[in-house]
Structure 1
Amino acid sequence: MIGKIATGEIEDEMATTKSAAAQLGSLGGKKRAANMTPERRSEIAKGAAQARWTVKQD
């Protein structure tokens, strides 16, 4: 079967489908954002930006 997928004889079905957990995860983030105030979303975004741009001292 791997050979047939590699040569294009058949399509890999696993590559195109999302797991149930992945499908629910995307819905959860949208629902969480919809329930937050714009001020709270801004606070979270500022914290995330600060974490990305902070240089870690070893």
Structure 2
Amino acid sequence: MIGNAVRVMRIATGEEADEVQDDGKNAAAKELGSKGGKKRAANMSPERRSEIAKKAAAKRWGKAE
């Protein structure tokens, strides 16, 4: 834990470079993907959203067979 604190301090002071890992995904695609669920919900009727939520709750809280 102390080693991590020292590393963060060195990065903050510029003594050490922060190594950012690339996840290999296109930044534009990630941005559009994050908007997908909101857009889908906006286009759905309240009844359909409720139906999907009830089905998800039943799966989550249902008894394991």
TM range (shorter): 0.5 to 0.7
Q: How many residues align?
A: 49
Matches within 5 A, 1:16-27: 20=27, 21-27=29-35
Give the aligned partner of residue 52 of structure 1.
60
- Structure 2 spans left out of the alignment, 5+ residues: 1-5
Alignment RMSD = 2.2
Matches within 5 A, 1:1-58: 7=7, 8=11, 9-14=16-21, 20=27, 21-57=29-65
Counterpart amino acid of 2:55? G
Q: How far apart are the structure 2 equivalents of 1:40 and 1:24?
A: 23
Q: How far apart are the structure 1 equivalents of 2:61 and 2:55?
A: 10
Give the aligned partner of residue 3 of structure 2.
none
Give the C-alpha shift of residue 55 in structure 1.
Answer: 1.6
Rg: which structure is higher? Answer: 2
Q: Which runs of 4+ in 1 moved over 6 A?
A: none
- Structure 1 spans left out of the alignment, 5+ residues: 1-5
Q: What TM-score results when the alignment is normalised by the length of structure 1?
A: 0.64
Aligned identity (percent) is: 58
